[in-house]
Structure 1
Amino acid sequence: MRVVWSNGSEDSVAELARALLDALDGGPAVLPLDPRNPVAGDVRDAMRPDEPVEPGTAVIIPTSGSTGRPKGTLLSTQALLASARATHARLGGPGRWLLATPPVYIGGLQVLVRSHLAGTTPVVLDTSQGFRPEAFEEAAREVFSSPGPHYTALVPTQLARLLDAGGAGAEGFDAIVLGGAALPDELRRRAERAGVSVVPSYGMSETASGCVYDGVPLDGVAVRLGDKDRIEVSGAVLAHGYRLDPEQTATSFVDGWFRTNDIGRLSADGRLTVLGRIDDMINTGGVKVPARHVEDALTRQDGVAAACVVGLPDPEWGQLVAAVVVPASSAHPPSVDRLRDAVKADLGPAAAPKLIRTLDELPLIGPGKVDRSAVRRLLHDHVDHHDGDAEK
């Protein structure tokens, strides 16, 4: 196993790209890690780099390790290439990519794989000091200087910042694949008004990145609903297990299907709608409330930049609906009563959050992925204050 540290700088991305190409060609498996992650050392140790790697493994994508025991997803060359080929087939053919997300996560790593397949060199946006719209715009100009199609992959938070900055070149891409988190309806409408071509994707490390684009599975990918509407995925894009964890592998990968922790709905024509994670379904007073639906209702309101909704234990309701919101302007936070009334009007009284707290930003575990455990802990500390007033 080859451990490669990458902080998003051009040099570190180049080192990772060389190791990745070697792994795809049969060389040592790659374990990419970000030195800025405070638990990266623990994750590396949990992956036991000195022990033999499971056969057929090209890349091991680890969890952050911040929410429970770290685990590593085992991806083969075949799975990575199948995902990249299916992505190009859906988007309009191989093209030039801008890498704008950390390559230690599957979304960023796949930009490197897709570029390799396309026979192009990706333009690397240096994210070692964070994401800046002006730097993205400069990198986009370099991408556009070469023949297209032109692509990039972002998380919704990055897209929102680009739109806040007037687009910053985002409108020039033939497609922007969005992953890492759900795309709020209002953010999608903003992108469409700005002429930005966004493609929301659903997937994870276990599916070698996004495997469902705008509700439609990629070529070679099948989706079905299992027990209690749990989303299950099959196809050549699947990982072949978890690092040194045969028990979890046997539980999650069954007869060629990967059992996700998400619940969904399939339309008559096979289009997938992701309703949220299994543990994000809130049962309050006997009514099941999808947290994502409440988040969408909140982010549709003026003055709300982002939201996270969780269920908290409650002796009366079983669980109560609780939310944190990030105001678009810290000087003018939205009225809690207005937010609660808006959710009630959209989804019914059971969905209206009984506790709402404002934050300057949502805690994250990876690019654009909200740390819901941290949100629960934060709100639990204030559960006695759900008297109708937002707290800062």
Structure 2
Amino acid sequence: MASYNPHHAFRVNGRLTSGENLFEISYSLIKEGEEFEKHIGEFLLDWIDGSSTISVKTSGSTGTPKTIVLKKEHMVNSALATGSYFDLAPESSALLCLPATYIAGKMMLVRAMVLGLNIYFVPPTSNPLEDTNRSFDFGAMVPMQVKNSLPNLHQVKKLIIGGAPISASLREDLKNVSNASYETYGMTETITHIAINPLNTGTGFESSFSILPDVKISVDERNCLVINAPKISDETVVTNDVVELVSEKEFKWLGRIDNVINSGGVKLHPEHIEKVLSKYLNIPFFVIGVEDEELGQKVVLVVENTSKSDIHKTLDKILEFKKFEKPKAIMVSKEFKRTESGKVQRQKTMSLL
């Protein structure tokens, strides 16, 4: 059986952790910890159980959640690539504030074990830095956590952000934070990120993703990204993400092909329209295509628990929309349907309207 013993410098909340006492720590978390700590303990035991694979749930943001099986060897390779890119040395400190039930949280633990990091974990709340004064060399958050943590974000020297699109307003806010924040592109099948976009190191709003070493990219006939990364996946990963290849190592993400709106024969990407709107709307919203007799589909703005009249006034002021991009209608949902990790489920939300 394969052995995946942690690095000799691996620490949990400051406590030096060897293969021998990792069982004890894991069982303690499962038996006595809070709910999020139980998941951490369970994953740590799964990692050292002698098996060569791990079962991981996908988030279900674009469809039905499913369980896929990943090789631990590939997870180790992913952790090594991240450590190399971000120059993470043994005994560097790391913050885990994501649930260990999904790949992003699991990989923070794997990076700590593989690279010998000192990992501290806090409850995976919307404001994870609220109750800690400690500084960290490395961490990972979703955009909602970043937004709520802005006053304290300097506590995380190098921060990767993923799981959902980053709004234009948050990108602007990050330029004023004295840390290094990076937008990531990836998915469960690629064991989190395979491409990085620095956010507050002088890059602009429309900057592109740069792929990590040992990754090759191309597009299929739909202009969707195809990923060939043998060190982290035995199979080529064909995505539903429409991209523009800038070079053989860079791409711009345009949106999900599942979400494309065909309005009057013009293909529109809701994600692009949402980027424009995010400069003006500081509320939960998304854009979707709805059947229309004249256009085939029309652009509709869906907002959460907000007055339509206020939104109409805002839309009238926006001059950046191209042909057919301005929403033709506004719909109000009392509450969006979301996955456990906080991603908005567009179709499920629409089915309730």
How far off its partner does 1:67 sit? Answer: 6.9
The answer as to whether partners of 1:64 and 1:70 remain within 8 angstroms in 2 is: yes
The answer as to whether partners of 1:8 and 1:102 remain within 8 angstroms in 2 is: no
Separation of aligned partners in 2, 1:239 and 1:73:
12
Aligned residue identity for 1:136: L
Tell me what 2:204 maps to: none
Tell me what 2:81 maps to: 86
Match for 2:284 among 297, 303, 306? 306
How far off its partner does 1:60 sit? Answer: 1.4
Change (3 A) 1:113 1:230: same
CA-based RMSD of the aligned residues comes to 2.8
Separation of aligned partners in 1, 2:247 and 2:215:
17
Separation of aligned partners in 2, 1:364 and 1:98:
25
How far off its partner does 1:89 sit? Answer: 1.4
TM-score, scaled relative to structure 1: 0.72
- Mapping of 1:255-270 within 5 angstroms? 256-268=235-247, 270=249
Separation of aligned partners in 2, 1:297 and 1:186:
10
Tell me what 1:356 maps to: 330
- Mapping of 1:188-199 within 5 angstroms? 188-199=171-182
The answer as to whether partners of 1:363 and 1:375 remain within 8 angstroms in 2 is: yes
Q: Once the two structures are aligned, what percentage of the paired residues are identical?
A: 25
Separation of aligned partners in 2, 1:223 and 1:299:
29
Aligned residue identity for 1:304: N
The answer as to whether partners of 2:285 and 2:302 remain within 8 angstroms in 1 is: yes
How far off its partner does 1:311 sit? Answer: 1.1
The answer as to whether partners of 1:208 and 1:238 remain within 8 angstroms in 2 is: yes
For the residue of structure 2 that corresponds to 1:370, the secondary structure is: coil
For the residue of structure 2 that corresponds to 1:227, the secondary structure is: coil
Tell me what 1:53 maps to: none
The answer as to whether partners of 1:299 and 1:306 remain within 8 angstroms in 2 is: no
For the residue of structure 2 that corresponds to 1:174, the secondary structure is: strand
Tell me what 1:289 maps to: 268
Tell me what 1:11 maps to: 37
For the residue of structure 2 that corresponds to 1:195, the secondary structure is: coil
Tell me what 1:118 maps to: 115
Alpha-carbon displacement from aligned partner over 1:353-374 (angstroms, at most 9, x marks no partner):
1122345764321324221112
Change (3 A) 1:331 1:290: closer
Alpha-carbon displacement from aligned partner over 1:10-54 (angstroms, at most 9, x marks no partner):
53144224223314xx33xxxxxxxxxxxxxxxxxxxxxxxxxxx
Change (3 A) 1:136 1:376: same
Pairing 1:218–2:196 present: no
Tell me what 1:324 maps to: 302
Pairing 1:109–2:106 present: yes
Pairing 1:366–2:340 present: yes
Aligned length: 311
The answer as to whether partners of 2:36 and 2:99 remain within 8 angstroms in 1 is: no
- Mapping of 1:275-286 within 5 angstroms? 275-286=254-265
Which sections of structure 1, spanning at least 5 residues, go unmatched? 28-55, 241-255, 382-392
How far off its partner does 1:76 sit? Answer: 0.3
Separation of aligned partners in 2, 1:377 and 1:237:
40
Aligned residue identity for 1:222: K
How far off its partner does 1:170 sit? Answer: 1.3
TM-score, scaled relative to structure 2: 0.79
Alpha-carbon displacement from aligned partner over 1:34-82 (angstroms, at most 9, x marks no partner):
xxxxxxxxxxxxxxxxxxxxxx5x2111235687654322210121111
Separation of aligned partners in 2, 1:295 and 1:68:
20
Separation of aligned partners in 2, 1:367 and 1:89:
27
Change (3 A) 1:334 1:116: farther
Change (3 A) 1:211 1:105: same
For the residue of structure 1 that corresponds to 2:339, the secondary structure is: coil
The answer as to whether partners of 1:207 and 1:237 remain within 8 angstroms in 2 is: no
Tell me what 1:38 maps to: none
Alpha-carbon displacement from aligned partner over 1:162-195 (angstroms, at most 9, x marks no partner):
22xxx2x211222111111111222111011133
Pairing 1:22–2:48 present: yes
Aligned residue identity for 2:314: R
Q: Which is helix-richer, 1 or 2? A: 1
Separation of aligned partners in 1, 2:333 and 2:66:
30
- Mapping of 1:52-71 within 5 angstroms? 56=52, 58-63=53-58, 69-71=64-66
How far off its partner does 1:320 sit? Answer: 1.2
Separation of aligned partners in 1, 2:308 and 2:61:
33
For the residue of structure 2 that corresponds to 1:262, the secondary structure is: strand
How far off its partner does 1:200 sit? Answer: 0.3
The answer as to whether partners of 2:286 and 2:303 remain within 8 angstroms in 1 is: yes
